[in-house]
Amino acid sequence: MHRLHLRPGATLPEDGLSRAERDRAALFRRAQDRRRYVAARHFCRWILARAVGESADRLVIGLAGNGKPWLPEHPGTEFSLSHSEDSVMLAISRAGPVGADIEELGRARLEGDPHLAALVLSAEERDWFETLPAAERSRSLLGYWVKKEAVLKCLGTGLLTCPSEVRVAPPTSEGETVCLPSGAIFLRSGACPGNERDFLWAVATGSKVAGLSWHDYESLQPESRK
């Protein structure tokens, strides 16, 4: 597990992205959104290149038939990238599929949107959710969201599968096995370690892992690792 917290004013490399990534970056209207996208793509390339022994600018990142990013020249290494505000999280697995999601709390009051709760929660989950005090609902709904997003990214379906069709344990659970018709998915979740801002994260894997190893970075420079 690798996490970047992009500091304000941090310098970003001017080259090293693919043509498709540069074209995608140019579509962002807000400079802040473009900067975050570019930082996430550089971070992804930098970490993956080190993992597979390749140079970042030569690393080929493609899209599988289901739209999930993959490394066609290194098919034994799977990864999942997620970013929220100025935090980027990259999960890497050599033991099968992986999906990751990270979200910052406080950007929106989620508990006030009944349509979002209906999209995210199954009937049983919603019954539990509605017993919560109003002050706890925003964090809980986001906790459900990050767990389900990680599972769907691991499956490779994304939001083509409705999140309410995937049942997970309440957000207070940090580790669980999610049973699906296609098989078991192993899920870990929690709050980001070592960060004063409040982020929730989740990682789903197709095979059971003994534990997660976290590596934190403050910039896109090799010496920035904490």
The pLDDT of residue 15 is: 80
The pLDDT of residue 222 is: 53
Task: Report the C-alpha gap between 27 and 116 in whole angstroms.
Answer: 27
Q: pLDDT digit string (tens) for 165-219? A: 999 999 888 889 999 988 899 999 998 754 456 889 999 999 988 778 889 888 7
Residue (of 69, 78, 130, 139) closest to 103 by Cα position: 139
pTM: 0.90
Secondary structure element (H or E) that encloses residue 62, with its range: strand 62-63
The pLDDT of residue 219 is: 78
The pair of structure tokens assigned to 167 is 């049942």
Q: Parallel, antiparallel, or unpaired for β 69-70 and 62-63? A: antiparallel
Task: Report the C-alpha gap between 164 and 116 in whole angstroms.
Answer: 10
Task: Report the C-alpha gap between 139 and 141 in whole angstroms.
Answer: 6
Q: pLDDT digit string (tens) for 62-77? A: 988 888 899 999 999 9
- Residue 39 scores a pLDDT above 50: yes
Task: Report the C-alpha gap between 195 and 193 in whole angstroms.
Answer: 6
Q: What is the mean pLDDT of residues 158-169?
A: 89
As a whole number, the mean pLDDT across the chain is 87
The pLDDT of residue 194 is: 45
Structural contact between residues 220 and 10, judged by C-beta atoms closer than 8 angstroms: yes
The pLDDT of residue 2 is: 93
Q: What is the mean pLDDT of residues 32-42?
A: 90
Residue corresponding to tokens 């990680």: 150
The pLDDT of residue 109 is: 55
The pLDDT of residue 225 is: 57
